């Protein structure tokens, strides 16, 4: 009896997997939905620490997946702080000291403005298809949305997270939930999209909750206040000189 069940089970599983689209195709659709030639966004981070919450607002100019410039607008003690990313290099300007410092090495793992995001998170290539191999491991419903569940494994060692489990909205090609792991299998960070909105023919996250599992805080909400795609951005913005302007 057992000998008959095993081949049947294998046949059923192979039929189910045959109904899955290629995992790489799903990753490319995710990338196409999030990445654009350039974009300008205004965001608010609400950082829920152990002793209360605080908000940090910023405006970012982003070109493709290689260049970004961010200026912090509030609160007053953060206002005027600027951050420039070009490729794999990151600089930060502090108006309090009038200094530009390069963020590199172990400093990239530090918290960004005390949030659950690290500088490393900001530096990572936004195109998942460039960083990970993917495998579909199932189909689940999440927040009344039909999702593919994917296991992602890093192609190289120079990534912040060795593996990820992601829940992808089948219709909108949008990651709604994510668990990020170290090579040891330790859960390092979780993200969950709490709200989405339509913009320029695509669905985009409106509110995302990040939780650093190594931190004792209650997480960080990232809210997209506004975003524009494929708008002109002057080249001078992506320069170290712009940090002091």
Residues 69-106 pLDDT 10s? 999 999 999 999 999 999 989 999 999 999 999 999 88
| Residue that the structure tokens 């530009």 belong to | 100
Cα–Cα nearest to 136, from 126, 119, 151: 151
| Residue that the structure tokens 């400093």 belong to | 107
Q: Which pLDDT band, with edges at 50, 70 and 90, does 18 fall under?
A: low
Mean pLDDT over each residue of the chain, to the nearest integer: 91
**45, two tokens:** 């981070």
Please determine, for residue 4, whether its predicted confidence score (pLDDT) is greater than 80. no
Cα–Cα nearest to 38, from 11, 69, 80: 69
Cα–Cα nearest to 193, from 178, 208, 180, 206: 208
Q: Quote the CA–CA distance of 153 and 228 in Å, as a whole number.
A: 32
Q: Quote the CA–CA distance of 93 and 76 in Å, as a whole number.
A: 15
Q: Which pLDDT band, with edges at 50, 70 and 90, does 12 fall under?
A: very low
Give pLDDT, residue 67: 93
Q: Which CATH architecture has domain 21-244?
A: Clam (2.50)
pTM, two decimal places: 0.88
Angle at the Cα of 150 (from 146 to 66), degrees rounded to 5? 110
Higher pLDDT, 192 or 64: 192
């Amino acid at each position: 009896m057992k000998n008959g069940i095993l081949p049947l089970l294998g046949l059923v599983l192979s039929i189910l997997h045959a109904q899955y689209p290629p995992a790489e195709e799903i990753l490319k659709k995710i990338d196409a939905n999030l990445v654009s030639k350039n974009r300008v966004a205004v965001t608010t981070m609400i950082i829920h620490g152990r002793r209360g919450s605080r908000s940090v607002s910023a405006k970012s100019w982003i070109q493709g997946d290689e260049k970004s410039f961010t200026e912090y607008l509030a609160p007053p003690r953060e206002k005027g702080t600027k951050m420039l990313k070009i490729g794999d290099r990151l600089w930060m300007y502090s108006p309090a000291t009038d200094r530009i410092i390069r963020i590199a090495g172990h400093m990239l793992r530090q918290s960004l403005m005390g949030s659950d995001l690290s500088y490393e998170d900001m530096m990572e290539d936004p195109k998942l298809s460039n960083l990970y191999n993917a495998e579909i491991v199932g189909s689940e419903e999440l927040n009344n949305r039909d999702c593919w569940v994917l296991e992602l494994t890093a192609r190289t060692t120079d990534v912040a997270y060795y593996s990820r489990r992601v829940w992808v909205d089948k219709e909108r090609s949008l990651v709604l939930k994510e668990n990020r792991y170290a090579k040891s299998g330790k859960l390092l960070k979780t993200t969950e999209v709490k709200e989405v909105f339509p913009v320029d023919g695509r669905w985009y996250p409106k509110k995302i909750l990040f939780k650093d599992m190594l931190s004792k805080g209650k997480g960080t909400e990232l809210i997209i206040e506004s975003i524009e795609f494929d708008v002109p951005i002057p080249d001078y913005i992506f320069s170290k000189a712009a940090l002091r302007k």
